[in-house]
Structure 1
Amino acid sequence: MLEKLLKRTLSRLRSPVLTQLLYAAGVLLCVGLSAALRLYLLANKAVWWDEGWSVYLARKPVAEIIRTAASTQHPPLHYLYLHYWLRLVGESEQAARLSSVLFGVATIPVVYALGRRLKGRAVGLGAAAFVAIAPFHICWSQEIRMYSAATFCAALSFLAFTECISRPRALAWVAYVLATSAMLYMHYGTLLVVAVQNLVALYALLRPPARWREFRAWVASQVAVALTLVPWLLLYIPNSTERTGFAPLSPLLYIRLVATLLPTGQSAYLERYTWIAVIFSAIVACGLWSLFRDRRLTGDIWLVPGIALLVGPALLYVLSLPASAFYSPRIVDRYLLIFLPIYGLVLSTGLLWLVKRSRMVGIAAAFVVLGILTSQVSAYYATRQYESDPKAAARLVQECFQPGDAVILNPDKDWPVYAYYLGASIPLNNIPYGQEMTVPSAAALADKFSGYDTVWLMEAPEIASNDPQRLLRAALAARDEQIGEADFGNVKVLVFRSKSTPQAFCPNRIIPYKAEGTGIVPAAAFTPIAATLANGIRLEAYGLNPPSPLPGHSFDVTLVWSCLEHLQQNYVVFVHVLDEQGKLVAQHDGAPLWGAYPTEAWACPTFVYDTHTVQLPPNLAPGTYCITGGLYDRQSGARVQVIEGEQYPDSRDSILVARFVLGSNRP
C-alpha cells in the first residue's frame, strides 16, 4: 500500500502541469529576489556626476534634450524616458533610481524566456537566478543611467532574434525591429549586439542549404532598424563632438577584465579576484562546450550565446583602438553589461552539464557559484555609504534661497551633483574646473554678482587646485558683508549679504551663521544647553521659531549639535512635545538637517544646525509643555543615554530642551 502511494506521488510530481508550475514559481521567486536586492539601500548613496547629468538633462524641454544629446556620447531615449518619469514620481534619489530598478527587474523573465528557448527551462531558470543576484547587474540597476534599460532591450532583442532565426513569423520580426531600435536609441554600445546578430544570421541563413526567404526577411529587418535611426543620425553626425580614441588596454589585461567583471562586477584590483575569475571561466567553458556538442539538437541558435560571449567583448576591444577617424569608444566596465544575460545563460548551461556528468560535482559547483555571488553582493552593499557633503550644503541653500540671490560653485568639477541637489528652481553659477583664479578674475566675478541681495559661495573640495588662496572669497568679502559660514566636511558654504539690502536674512528659518575662530557661534536667538550624550555628541543650544508656539500651528525647533570624533553609526533625532502628565502630544523624528546630513557623514569636529518642524494639534489645552530631544539608533531603535545636562524627569535618554506655556486665550 505504501509502495503504491509513493509511486503515485512520484508520478504526480513528474506531471507536466506541476513541472510548469514549479518553474513559474521559480521565475517569480527570481523576480521577487531581484526586486528586493535592487531596492535595498537604493537611496543610501549620494548621486554622482553621471546621475546628476542624467537628471539635469531630463529636466529640460524635450526639444532641448534632443539637441543636447546630439552633441554628447549617448542617444536621447533614456533622457526622454527619464524626463516623463521624474514628472510622474519626483526627483528624490529613490524615485529617480527606481526608473532603472524597473528595467533591471523586467530583465529577469526575459532572460528566462531566452534561456528556455536556447537550451530548456532549467537553463533559463539558472540564468534568471544568476542575473537576479549578479552584483554587476544590481549595481547598474541602482543608478540613474541608461545601462539597465539598454540591457533589458538587448535581452529582448536577442529573444526576438532567436525566434526570427528558428521559427520566423511576422510578429517576431516586428518585435525584433522595435526592441533593437529602442536598444540603439538607449546606448551606442549596443551596436555590438547588432553586429553579433548579423554574424549569426549570415552563417545560419546562408550556409547550405541556404534559406533565402528568411535571409531576405533578415535584410529587410536590418533596413527597417536603420530607417528608424536615420532621423537621429542626420542630427547626430553634424553635431557630435566625439572624435578621439583612448589609450587601449593590453589584450591579456582586457581578457582578465572581462573574466572578472561579469561574475563579480569588479573592474579594479583584478589580482584579488583571480581564483573567482578562473572558477567562473571554467564553468563558462563547460557551457560553451555543451552548446557546441548539442548544436544538432538546438539548431543554429546555439551560435547566439557562443558568438555573443566570445565575439561581442572582442569587438568592443577592437573598436576602442584609436584608429577611427570618427569615434572610438572607451573601454568602460558598464559597456559590457549588455552581455551579462548571455554570460548567465552560458554559465547556467555549464552548471547543468556538470550536473549531468557528475551530480555531486555539479551541485558543489552551483553552491560555490552561489557563495561567491552572495559574498560579492555583500561587498557591493558595503560600498553604498552615504557621502552627503554636497547634499547637505545644497539643502541648506535651498532652505534660505530667495529671489534675488545667487549661488556660485567654485570650482565646478562635480557641478551636476550640486545642480541635482539644489533643484531645478535654483540656477547654479559655475567657476570652471582647471581655470586658475587670479586677483583680477576674482574681482571681475565679484563685480558680476554685485546686483544680488545674497551670494551663496559653495567651495568644493577641488578648490585647492583652482583657488588655493581663496581669492574669490576675499573679493566677495571686500565688497559685501560675510554673514555666515558652514562647514560640511569637504564642502563649505559662505554667505555674503549686500550692505544695502534691508531684508532679513533667511526669514523663514533660524539659520545661525557667524564665523569666529574655528567654530560657529550660535546666534542670539539660541539658548545654551550643553547636554552630552553617551556617544560623544553634545547638544550645545536650541532655538524656537516662533518663540511661543500656538495650537494648530507648526513651529521650528533648531538644535545645535557638536561632535569631536567621527561617528560610526547613523542616528535619528527625535523632538517630542509632552504635556504636564508626560503624555506625547506632538513629535518629529528624522535624520539631521532635513534628512540631508546623517550623523555618519558628520565631519567631526564640527557644529551641525539641525531644524525640525513640529505640528501642534489644534485642541491642546492650556498649560505648560516640555520639548524633549535626543538620538536613537536607526537600526535597533535604542536611544542614546544622556550623561551630562538636564534630563527629562524619570528619563535618562531624553534631554529637556525647553518649556513653553499655552495660555487660555487662543488666537
Structure 2
Amino acid sequence: MPRGLRTAAVWLAPALLTLVVTGTGLTGAQLWRDELATWSAATRSVGDLFRLAGTIDAATGPYYLLMHGWVALAGDSVAALRLPSVLAMTGAAALTAVLGRRLVGARTGLLAGLLLALLPGTSRYAQEARPYALATLFAVLATLLLVEALRRPGWARWAGYAVALAALGLTHLIALTLLAAHAVAVLAGTGADPAGGPGRRRWWWLAAVAPALVLVAPLVLVARGQRGRQLEWVDLVRPVDLVTLPGGVAQSTAVGGLLVGLAALGAARLGRPALLPGCAVVLPVLLLFAAGLVVPLWVPRYLVFVVPFACLLAGAALAAVPLPGALAVLVLAGLLGLPDQAALRRTHEWPRSARIDYRGAADVIAAGQRPGDAVVYSPRHSWLFLDLGVEYRLRDRTPRDALLVEGPARRGDLWAAECDRPAECLAGVPRVWLVVSGRRTDPVAAVTGAKGAALRDGFTVRQVWQRPGLTVALLTR
C-alpha cells in the first residue's frame, strides 16, 4: 500500500466507522427535552435568540445561533437537527487518530480512533442536537494544533490554535478547563522544537490564549448570572460521582470500566508521551469536581470532550499487543456496548425505562381533535417541555393553547407565560386536551392551583390515554 494511502487510512477508517455507527438509527429516539430546547431556540429570529441569551441560556447561545443558520438551510427534521453532531463526532474520531499518530504512532492513532467510534457515548452525543459533539471536535482540534505549533512554531499555527480555542469556548464553556492540560504541555515542552526556546514558546501560547479568553469572557459573565435558573436541577458533587463518571461519559458501565483500564495501561506504557493526553483527561475532571464541591456544576456529559484523550491512551495500550489481539479487544468493546447502543436509540432519557412519548401524546390529539379544541399543559414551567414536544410533532395542527398569554420567544425564555385567570381564559372552549406528566388515572387531579380548579369546575373527563411518561385526557363541558 502506498505510504500516502496508509497515512490517510489512519484517520479515514475511524471516520468512516464513526459515520456508519452514529448514523445508524439516527432518528430512532425522539427528540428529548434538551433537544426540544434546541429546536425552540434555533427556529427563533436572531433578535429573539439574543434576548434568550440575555435571560437564561447564554452559555448555549453561540450553538443556538449556529443551529439557527443550519435549520434555515437543512430544515428541522430529527435527522437534520442531529446531523451536525454526527459530523462533529466523525471529525473528532478522525482527529483523534491523527493526534495519536503525532504523539505516539500510526497504530496507536488508528486504534484510538476506532475505539472512540465504538463507544456508546459517541453515538449518544452524536445523535443529539446539543453542543457536546462539537465541543469534542474542537477539543481534539485545539490540542492537535497546539502540538503542531509546539513542534513547528509559526504565527499561522498559533493563530489556528487560537481560533480553535475560541470555537471550543463558544461551544462549551466548561471545555476550556482543557487549557490546564495545554498549559502543562507548554511548560513541559511536549514535542517542542528545541530551537524555539521555552520562554518564546510560552509567550506564543499566552498570545494565542488571550484573544480566545477575551472573546469568551462576556459569555462567562452573563452565564454566571444565569446559573441559578439554568442548573437548578444539579446537586453538589459527591465522591461517588467520580466512580460513576466513566460509565456516564461512555454511556455504559462495562465499556467505561474497560476504557479506564486500557487508558491506565497505556499511560504506564507511554511514560512522558502520556503527559498531554493524560492531563487532558485528568485535569478537566478534577477542576470540575473541585468546582462542583461548592457550586452545582457536576454533570457527566459536560466532560464528554475528554473521552478522545482517554481513547488515545487506550490505543497506546492496544498498540503494544499484536494487531489481531488489539482488534479482538475492540470487538469486545463493541459487543459490551451493544445493549446500551440499542437502548439509546430508543430514548435519550435516563434511566432508559423513563421514556417520554411526546409523539404518542401528539398523535392522540391529532387523531381526535375538532375545530375549536384547545390544549392545556401541566406542569407548564418544567424541564419536560410538554408544550414543545407536542408542538414539534403537530406544528400548525396544534390546538389553540388556551392559557397562553406570551410565548417563549417573545419572553426571551424557554417557557411561555400563562393566563393568571384560567377560568376566564377557558370560557367558551368546548373541549380541552389536557397533557400532564406521568401516568395518571385522574389527570385533572394532578393539576394544581387555579388552573386545576378551573378544569375541575368547568369540564368533565371524557377519555384518558396513557403513553410512556405522559397522560392525555379529553375534557368536555
- What TM-score, normalized by structure 2, do the two folds share? 0.81
Alignment pair present for 1:321 and 2:293: yes
Alignment deviations for residues 124-183 of structure 1 (CA, whole Å, 9 cap, x no partner): 111111111111111111112111111111111111111122222222112111111111
1:345 pairs with one of 312, 319, 325: 312
Verify the 8 A CA contact 2:94 2:113 in the aligned structure 1. Answer: yes
Distance 2:29 2:384 in 1: 17
Q: Is the 8 A contact 1:409 1:415 kept in 2?
A: no
Q: Is the 8 A contact 1:411 1:462 kept in 2?
A: no
- Aligned pairs (5 A) from 1:31-430: 31-70=15-54, 71-72=56-57, 74-204=59-189, 211-233=198-220, 235-237=222-224, 240-241=227-228, 246-250=235-239, 253-261=240-248, 264-266=250-252, 273=254, 279-292=258-271, 295=272, 302-322=274-294, 328-352=295-319, 354-355=320-321, 359=322, 363-364=324-325, 366-385=327-346, 389-397=357-365, 406-412=374-380, 413=382, 415-423=384-392, 425=396, 426=398, 428=401, 429=403
* CA distance in structure 1 between the aligned counterparts of 2:445 and 2:428, rounded to whole angstroms: 26
Q: Report matched runs for 1:655-666 at 5 Å.
A: none
Assess, with a 3 A threshold, how the Cα gap between structure 1 residues 319 and 394 changes in structure 2: closer, same or farther: same
Confirm or deny: 8 A CA contact 1:48 1:417 kept in the other structure.
Answer: no
How big is each residue's C-alpha offset from its partner over 1:432-488, in whole Å with a ceiling of 9 and x where there is no partner? xxxxxxxxx999523222155653322332668995366867844754687x63514
Q: Does 1:468 align with 2:445?
A: yes
Distance 1:375 1:456 in 2: 44
Percent of matched pairs sharing the same residue? 24
1:447 aligns with 2:434: no
Matching residue of 2:434:
457
Q: Which structure has the highest strand share of the two? A: 1
Contact 2:59–2:223 (CA under 8 A) maintained in structure 1: no
CA distance in 2, matches of 1:224, 1:469: 52
Q: Name the counterpart of 1:489.
A: 467
Q: Is the 8 A contact 1:131 1:341 kept in 2?
A: yes
**1:28 and 2:12 correspond:** yes
* Aligned 8 A contact 1:140 1:147 in 2: yes
Ranges in structure 2 where 5+ consecutive residues have no aligned partner: 348-354, 406-417
Query: How far off is 1:399 after superposition?
Result: 6.8
Flag the 1:466–1:202 CA change in 2: closer, same or farther, 3 A: farther
Name structure 1 gaps, 5 residues minimum: 1-12, 323-327, 432-440, 499-667
Aligned residue identity for 1:173:
W
The structure with the largest alpha-carbon Rg is 1
Q: Tell me, yes or no, if the aligned pair for 1:104 and 1:148 is still in contact at 8 Å.
A: yes
Query: Is the Cα–Cα contact under 8 Å of residues 100 and 142 in structure 1 kept in the other structure?
Result: yes
Go from structure 1 to structure 2 and tell me whether the alpha carbon gap of 1:316 and 1:231 turns closer, same or farther (over 3 Å shift).
Answer: closer
Kindly tell me: are residues 256 and 73 of structure 1, through their superposed partners in 2, closer, same or farther at Cα, counting changes over 3 Å? farther
Instruction: Return closer, same or farther for 1:396/1:90 CA change in 2, 3 Å cut-off.
Output: farther
After superposition, the CA RMSD in angstroms is 3.6
Partner amino acid for 1:220?
Answer: A
Distance in 2, Cα, partners of 1:173 & 1:451:
66
Relative to structure 1, the CA distance from residue 241 to residue 466 in structure 2 (aligned partners, 3 Å threshold; closer, same or farther) is: farther
Q: Which one-letter code corresponds to 1:450 in the other structure?
A: A
Write out per-residue CA displacement over residues 468-522 of structure 1, whole angstroms, 9 at most, x where no aligned residue: 366867844754687x635143544444567xxxxxxxxxxxxxxxxxxxxxxxx
Once the two structures are superposed, what CA deviation does each residue of 1:401-425 show, in whole Å capped at 9, x if it has no partner?
7886532112234542541341365
Question: What is the CA–CA distance in structure 1 between the aligned matches of 2:7 and 2:24, rounded to whole Å?
Answer: 26
Higher mean C-alpha deviation, range 143-152 or range 208-217: 208-217
Distance 1:337 1:350, change over 3 A: same
CA contact (8 A) 2:248 2:301 kept: no
| Contact 1:104–1:149 (CA under 8 A) maintained in structure 2 | yes
Against the structure 1 CA distance between its residues 393 and 28, is the aligned structure 2 distance closer, same or farther, given a 3 Å change threshold? same
Cα separation, 1, equivalents of 2:12 and 2:31: 31
Relative contact order (C-alpha < 8 Å, sep 6+): which is higher? 2
SS at match of 2:432: strand
Aligned length: 444
Q: Are the counterparts in 2 of residues 72 and 241 from structure 1 also a CA contact under 8 Å?
A: no
Quote how far apart the aligned CAs of 1:345 are. Answer: 0.8
Q: What is the DSSP-based 3-state SS (H/G/I as helix, E as strand, rest coil) of the residue aligned with 1:350?
A: helix
CA contact (8 A) 1:123 1:348 kept: yes
Moved more, 172-181 or 368-377: 368-377
AA at the equivalent of 2:167: A
Contact 1:141/1:148 (<8 A) preserved: yes
Secondary structure, aligned partner of 1:192: helix
Give the AA of the match of 2:43.
R
Contact map agreement 1:123 1:349 (CA 8 A) in 2: yes
Q: Distance in 2 between matches of 1:473 and 1:254?
A: 39
Greater shift, 62-71 or 151-160, is seen at: 62-71
Q: Quick check: 1:37–1:133 contact (8 Å CA) kept in 2?
A: yes
Instruction: Output the CA distance in 2 between the equivalents of 1:238 and 1:258.
Output: 27
Q: Normalized against structure 1, the TM-score is what?
A: 0.59
8 Å Cα contact 1:397/1:422 also seen in 2:
no
CA offsets 1:354-412 (integer angstroms, 9 cap, x no match): 22xxx4xx743541342133331343214533657421322444577788653211223
- Residue deviations 1:510-553 (CA, integer Å, cap 9, x gap): xxxxxxxxxxxxxxxxxxxxxxxxxxxxxxxxxxxxxxxxxxxx
